[in-house]
Amino acid sequence: MQVIKTIEEMQKFSKAKKAEGKTIGFVPTMGFLHAGHLSLVKKAKQECDMIVVSIFVNPTQFAPNEDFESYPRDFEKDSERCRKEGVDVIFYPSAEEIYKGKTKFVEVGEIGQVLCGKSRPAHFRGVATVVTKLFKAVIPDSAYFGLKDFQQFVIIKKMTKNMNFDINIIGCPIIREKDGLAMSSRNAYLSKQERNEAVVLNKSLALAEEMFSKGEKDAETVRQAVSDKISETSGKIDYVEIFDSASLKPVNKIKKRNRIGLAVFFGKTRLIDNRGFE
């Protein structure tokens, strides 16, 4: 397994492999890898010849009051995990390397201002910008994203199409802890009590699904029940919304394939989760 730190070297590697007729599967991450990240690697391995994982904590997607500095990092452990999974390259650039020269941003418009974008207005602009830069460095055939960050997945898919990137964007299911909490690098911040309480997120999404399957179609009624359940804990709701899974716009009457998404603070830790109605 190689660790590549410059864009030029990364492009050289990818171009050489492509010249040999090999396909490149790409898994962008911010590191502190867990089984959720590794599920993307496994999927990529099934479909592509060479696997590139990027580890880059992207400063432009964090607001000044957010956790960029304290975001958990452990490159040694991450490399070990990648090696065991059969990753071919870890792309591990510095912020200077990625943002050298004048930074032009990739703007995502309205779809970046709803759901998580309401409380993190510059977040998806930062995500779209870094993913564009990573795509230009790695030149993948397919790129793998978790549905845990559902809004991110939809935005990247749209951006890839709009920018004419010739890359398949593959969405992968949410991997959960045994008790149902969606895996996240940020779970490491939780105190024992917060960790126990955070189970309510998945439970409240399951409640929404149960209400829908028993015939409740009114989005506000379901939204309220989910909010009430979360409010039984110390969790502070950022949002609970039921929305169309393509436009991300809120719906009044729930239909199959709509989604419910939420963001909740436990202490200072903001956790997100979502689920599709089936």
Residues that bind ligand AMP (CB under 6 A): 29-30, 36-37, 39-40, 145-146, 148-149, 172, 174-175, 182-185
Give the nearest distance from C-beta 71 to ligand AMP in angstroms.
9
| Tokens at 38, concatenated | 């590794």
61 DSSP assignment: G
Q: Which residues pair with 239 in a beta bridge?
A: 263
d(CA 129, CA 167): 16
Q: How many CB atoms lie within 10 A of CB 186?
A: 17
Task: Provide φ and ψ at 235, rounded to 5°.
Answer: -60, 135
Give the nearest distance from C-beta 184 to ligand AMP in angstroms.
5
Task: Using the minimum distance from each CB to ligand AMP, give the nearer residue, 95 or 251.
Answer: 95
Q: Residue 82 burial by CB count (10 A; 0-12/13-18/19+): exposed, middle or buried?
A: buried
Give the nearest distance from C-beta 30 to ligand AMP in angstroms.
4
Task: Using the minimum distance from each CB to ligand AMP, give the nearer residue, 201 or 242.
Answer: 201
Q: Residue 65 burial by CB count (10 A; 0-12/13-18/19+): exposed, middle or buried?
A: exposed
Catalytic-labelled residue, pool 37, 43, 229, 270: 37
Query: Does 37 participate in catalysis according to the annotation?
Result: yes
The residue nearest ligand AMP at its CB is: 146
Task: Using the minimum distance from each CB to ligand AMP, give the nearer residue, 18 or 195.
Answer: 195
Task: Using the minimum distance from each CB to ligand AMP, give the nearer residue, 14 or 274.
Answer: 274
Give the nearest distance from C-beta 183 to ligand AMP in angstroms.
4
